[in-house]
Structure 1
């Protein structure tokens, strides 16, 4: 099975890059031919961590109109030539201008390339996050979609509209959507991970890792819980 995993959300700071990294790590762990589309060219944190590990295409997806259409044409031309079976797309804020506006082009192209579209919608606390998710064209056309809470960003604040206003969650589930979450990584260990931007999470858990053994084990445990809570259900539809 070939997958196009899109980390969406249309808000900054909700965990799109974290989910993208988790998906990349799972693809590598599973022995897939992984490629990354770094759509957030201003920050580029996913590219920075994996550009020496897997193929990375850097395409500015914070565009609209003809510029967005040209970016999408460039992107999928490269993907067709690359023939990867596991593509992870990290989107910037405001990416609806390109991705949702041209979803009716993206979906059939992905289908012809044999890529199943799996969208992770990283949700914020605002009601607008839930509304945008249910209105997102690429979510509507995706093979599978999941609303994901990033607990690392939430400071354990459970006051998300997905949970406190049941109609949002019910509408999402009724449309075929899944729900999941990424658990918090201990702040001390998270800070250590950020010190090594050019290394994958997996390399930071290996025998050559510069981290302490206990830190490696905490990262391994967090990866497994994160995959089980978000990435695996999204890919397998469970």
Structure 2
């Protein structure tokens, strides 16, 4: 089955872009026809990494919209997906993406499913207590075929347990509604800096024997 992965979370700096890169690399490693959709065109860090990479198509669509503008953006996006041959699609959402993703979920999910995509939403966990409320109220999370709450350990140095995942009530609501739990391990800042220096290169290549990075950095 084809796969659409939506990197959501509604906050800035919670790890949506790094998760989008990891999943795009996964698609490449599996030999899937991979498309990266950059919904945060003001920053565009995911698009920059995969622009020109063999085996990856990159689309840019401004999802920092609401109301009729959001509907028009989603419509344009799915017209492009229907005309493409991609079977593994990664959507990197901007901050405040609920304005487009949750308000248009009743268009996004049924259309994606009719195009034979399995819809998977990765909710990137923020440190604020409001993250629990937003996650459990997210319409696209509720409608998706799969959903996973993902902790970015790089963001957790001041709150190692994350409030809403350590609060039994909020965690249980998520899990009982079919939500999964996962995390991105912490990455040393010196290695993160090397990743930023090597734009336009898949992460998997930077970890390979042909990488320009030193062996110890590749291992990390």
TM-score range, shorter chain: over 0.9
Offset at residue 151 of structure 1 (A): 0.3
Q: For residue 112 of structure 1, what is the aligned residue in structure 2?
A: 114
Offset at residue 156 of structure 1 (A): 6.2
Offset at residue 97 of structure 1 (A): 0.7
Q: For residue 160 of structure 2, what is the aligned residue in structure 1?
A: 158
1:129 aligned residue (128, 131, 134):
131
Distance 1:207 1:165, change over 3 A: closer
Write the distance in 2 (CA, Å) between the matches of 1:25 and 1:60.
Answer: 23
1:161, 1:168 within 8 Å by CA — same for their partners in 2? no
Q: For residue 79 of structure 1, what is the aligned residue in structure 2?
A: 81
Write the distance in 2 (CA, Å) between the matches of 1:58 and 1:168.
Answer: 34
Offset at residue 184 of structure 1 (A): 0.7
Aligned: 1:194 with 2:196: yes
Aligned: 1:69 with 2:68: no
Write the distance in 2 (CA, Å) between the matches of 1:181 and 1:162.
Answer: 14
Write the distance in 2 (CA, Å) between the matches of 1:133 and 1:182.
Answer: 18
Q: For residue 102 of structure 2, what is the aligned residue in structure 1?
A: 100
2:156, 2:162 within 8 Å by CA — same for their partners in 1? no
Q: For residue 212 of structure 1, what is the aligned residue in structure 2?
A: 214
Aligned: 1:147 with 2:159: no
Aligned: 1:35 with 2:63: no
Offset at residue 179 of structure 1 (A): 0.6
Offset at residue 153 of structure 1 (A): 2.0
Gaps of 5+ in 2: none
Write the distance in 1 (CA, Å) between the matches of 2:88 and 2:9.
Answer: 20
CA RMSD of aligned residues (A): 1.1
Write the distance in 1 (CA, Å) between the matches of 2:215 and 2:163.
Answer: 39
Write the distance in 2 (CA, Å) between the matches of 1:120 and 1:29.
Answer: 20
Offset at residue 11 of structure 1 (A): 0.3
Write the distance in 1 (CA, Å) between the matches of 2:124 and 2:26.
Answer: 18
Q: For residue 91 of structure 1, what is the aligned residue in structure 2?
A: 93
Q: For residue 181 of structure 2, what is the aligned residue in structure 1?
A: 179
Gaps of 5+ in 1: 219-238
Q: For residue 25 of structure 2, what is the aligned residue in structure 1?
A: 25
TM-score, normalised by the number of residues in structure 1: 0.89
Offset at residue 69 of structure 1 (A): 0.6
Runs ≥4 residues deviating over 4 A? none
Write the distance in 2 (CA, Å) between the matches of 1:62 and 1:143.
Answer: 24
Write the distance in 1 (CA, Å) between the matches of 2:139 and 2:24.
Answer: 24
The size of the alignment, in residue pairs, is 218
TM-score, normalised by the number of residues in structure 2: 0.96
